[in-house]
Amino acid sequence: MTSSQQGGLLSPSCKKLEEMGAILKGVVIAIEKGEREREFGPKERPNWPIQTLAKIDIVEGRVEIVE
C-alpha cells in the first residue's frame, strides 16, 4: 500500500511544492488523527515545522478530541 492509499499526501505535496520553487516555512494540519507517528517530523524535515489545530482519536465509532 502506498502512502497516498493510506491518506499520506502531506509529504509528497510539500515535496512537489518545493520542486516547483516554493519555500515552505511551515505546515499547518487542521486535524491529526490517531496515535500513529506523523509521516515525517522535525528530524526528517527540520525546515517544515508542523502545527496541528486539533488532534483526534476515533473510539468506539466516536470522535474524541485529544489535548
| Confidence at residue 16, expressed as pLDDT on a 0 to 100 scale | 93
Query: In the block, which residue shows the cell 496515535?
Result: 35
CB of 49 closer than 8 Å to CB of 27: yes
| Confidence at residue 52, expressed as pLDDT on a 0 to 100 scale | 85
| Confidence at residue 3, expressed as pLDDT on a 0 to 100 scale | 44
pLDDT < 50 regions, the chain: 1-6
| Confidence at residue 12, expressed as pLDDT on a 0 to 100 scale | 86
Q: Where are the domains of the chain?
A: 10-66
| Confidence at residue 62, expressed as pLDDT on a 0 to 100 scale | 92
Longest dimension (CA), the chain: 44
Residue among 30, 33, 28 at smallest CA distance from 56: 33
